[in-house]
């Protein structure tokens, strides 16, 4: 005589047979950036942890960040030290761009991917669904056309000019912001751009 199972028991048995990796893939989360300003340098304290979560080699990951941020930097154990002051929000934006370009599958959205070089082309291969696509290589850090008058940007004030205005640097730009102090991070409304020099004010909420 066959044994009768109720619904809850069958559901419990089915869940027990599921591999752990399914749960891990569904819960892909990038840790918040842990940044510390030390003098004139910025310490990215959980660099190695994030590299492990996105499953990418540290030197490749760092090379991307340095190019995007327009900064020099070195790996120091499990952390990275950037030359100059860099806002944590700016690092987070660049990490999201890296993940979108170099980690997430464009077909199924999973992070279960690997990079394969075919000739001079880098291919992103998805082990979850089998899709593959060329990696969109970025040109590097922010360029002139990416900074627009009338737009608001979150910036780190790195220095103070002779007239008392705060100075922020993004890509190839020097941005003067009235009413700010060194070491603060503020949202800035860009009012005027002249070549690679821009002028802004603190954005109102």
How is 75-103 classified by DSSP, letter by letter? EETTEEEEES---HHHHHHHHHHHHHHHT
The pLDDT value recorded for residue 85 is 84
Separation of alpha carbons 148 and 161, rounded Å = 22
| Residue pLDDT tens, the chain, 205 long | 445 556 567 666 655 655 444 444 456 899 999 999 998 899 999 999 999 999 999 999 999 998 888 778 899 999 999 988 888 888 998 999 899 999 999 889 899 999 998 888 889 999 999 998 998 765 444 444 467 888 888 888 888 888 889 998 877 788 999 999 988 888 999 998 887 788 999 988 6
Query: How are beta strands 173-177 and 197-202 bridged, if at all?
Result: parallel
pTM: 0.59
User: What is the set of domains in the chain, with CATH numbers?
Assistant: 35-134 (3.30.30.170), 144-202 (2.40.50.140)
Sheet-wide strand order for 41-44: 35-38, 41-44, 79-83, 73-76
Separation of alpha carbons 124 and 156, rounded Å = 34
Separation of alpha carbons 83 and 38, rounded Å = 10
């Amino acid at each position: 005589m066959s044994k009768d199972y109720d619904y809850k028991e069958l559901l419990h048995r089915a869940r027990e047979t599921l591999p752990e990796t399914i749960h891990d893939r569904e819960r892909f989360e990038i840790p918040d950036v842990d940044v510390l300003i030390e003098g004139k340098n910025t310490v990215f304290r959980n660099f190695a942890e994030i590299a492990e979560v996105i499953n990418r080699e540290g030197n490749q990951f760092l090379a991307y960040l340095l190019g995007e941020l327009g900064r020099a930097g070195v790996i120091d154990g499990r952390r990275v030290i950037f030359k100059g002051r860099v806002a944590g929000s700016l690092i987070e934006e660049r990490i999201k761009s890296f993940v979108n370009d170099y980690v997430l599958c464009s077909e199924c959205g999973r992070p279960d991917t690997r990079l394969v070089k075919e000739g001079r082309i880098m291919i992103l291969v998805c082990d979850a669904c089998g899709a593959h696509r060329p990696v969109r290589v970025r040109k590097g850090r922010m360029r002139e056309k990416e900074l627009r008058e009338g737009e608001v940007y979150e910036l780190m004030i790195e220095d103070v000019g002779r007239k008392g205005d705060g100075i922020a640097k993004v890509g190839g730009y020097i941005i003067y912001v009235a009413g700010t102090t060194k070491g603060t991070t503020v949202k800035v409304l860009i009012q005027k751009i002249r070549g690679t020099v821009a002028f802004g004010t603190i954005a109102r909420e």
